[in-house]
A and B are shown apart, each in its own frame.
Chain A
Amino acid sequence: MPQDAIQLSTAAVVRAGRALRDALDDPERRALAATRLAFAGERGIGVFDETTAQAFASTGVPDRAAPQAELTVDVLAAALGQIDVANTLLAASTAVGEQGAPNRTALDQPLRRAGRTVELLADLNTPPVHHFRAEPPTSSTVDDAMHILRAKVTTTFDAIVTRSSEVVAASITGIRDGGPGALADGWRWAKQNLKLDEIGGKLAKLGLRALRGALRILYRLLPSDRLEAIQERVERLVTTAEAGSPALALLGAALGADETARTAASALDARPADAGRLDDATSALTALGARHGKVMDLCGGIATAIGFATTLTGLAGLGAPGVHVIVLGAHLGLLGAVVVIGREYVGRTGETISEATR
């Protein structure tokens, strides 16, 4: 998926949002700037729809068994950009007073956030550091290689579970804030086509459209044939978590980390004799852990952005039940995505060990 297009359109919304913030005191200029922002928002939604549709069309993602790593990054980056576009539009609605008194400072925080997202998208596009030469571990004995790999396996599983749990904790807090019945409400998003077109002023409507677009793509990360299993795992996480933070053991089980770790340990106990292959596996796990970290950074950004959307929809006077459901649905969609992605990375870790010890 061309992240450049998403980055460009998000940057254009940020630019137009800043122009509106700077024009709030001048009625003529404010009206022009609001039109420009609506235009940029509309175009951003169009670019997002087009690029995501192209991405999925070219890879056939909805029916595949598991998301591909690079596509996952692209999809999450697009969703994050779109939620920040939504938040900017919702905040602009409050700033100009579409549904109530204008709020001069409403745009400040969303614009800062959206600006950071544009930078994050730039970071994703930044080419890797080119070292003069690669420096993989070169163990002198099989015992050394085994020792290093065992440690790496442990830290990789731990990191996958810990990083996932950080995102999960943020989203669970958001769902709990939704009150009783939030879970059932949230899943309605995936099953119903909510009618929100009559809610709010022009900027707020656009903001909600952008939010729905982001959610739609988030849900496309969840394989349709496994939706019920994912739903069950997510619900178990949400209902059994205490104080908004799930026990790592619970999450480890949801991601399948425990079982895979046991299988990996048994494979290593069989004492394979090729130090080179063990070292290669250590390098592969290092890269895998780094990629998962990058993906969880994006998921963390999305969790924060969704939380922010909750506040902004409230400030914009959008108290309709449908809006509430969208935000809950976003949290659940993200939780589902974290579980799917975590399971994928856990699976890859297991495969890496299995190949190294074959």
Chain B
Amino acid sequence: MAKYVVARAADIPEGGRRLVRVGEREIAVFHFGGRFFALLNRCPHAAGPLCKGRVVGLLESGDPGTYSFDASDRYVSCPWHGWEFSIETGQSYFDPKRTRVRSYPAGVAPGEEIVAEMDAEGQGGDTGGRRPGPYKAEIFPVDVEDEYVVLTLPR
């Protein structure tokens, strides 16, 4: 696994999302409830762009005409066919055993910490598990006081 700095936290406001590229992967990063979530931008059904999907709460029912809604449990609804995937785990709602979209751990780290780790590893080093992502050149000179969105992906 490797860590990639993909955005400044401030660039993705609460309720927002941003499409980022890490190598050849397109990843949809969502910011909800003060947390960041990352899903591969590719619906397992027909490859729809999940980054453009609505983010909806969990709607369940135990009986026709009754509704149980949990706004804090978020699902991305694919813009093409409406399939729902947990923003946290990537699992589908309707077929959790067989259908899921790849999800990745997304976290926020202060710039100072990232720079300190990179310094320890050597610039561009790939040895400590965390390596510089595509935002490296833009970000670090701007403000190391900022917080950054860091994805953990298989290499």
Q: Does B bind A?
A: no
Residues of chain B touching chain A, judged by Cβ–Cβ distance below 8 Å, are: none
Residues of chain A touching chain B, judged by Cβ–Cβ distance below 8 Å, are: none
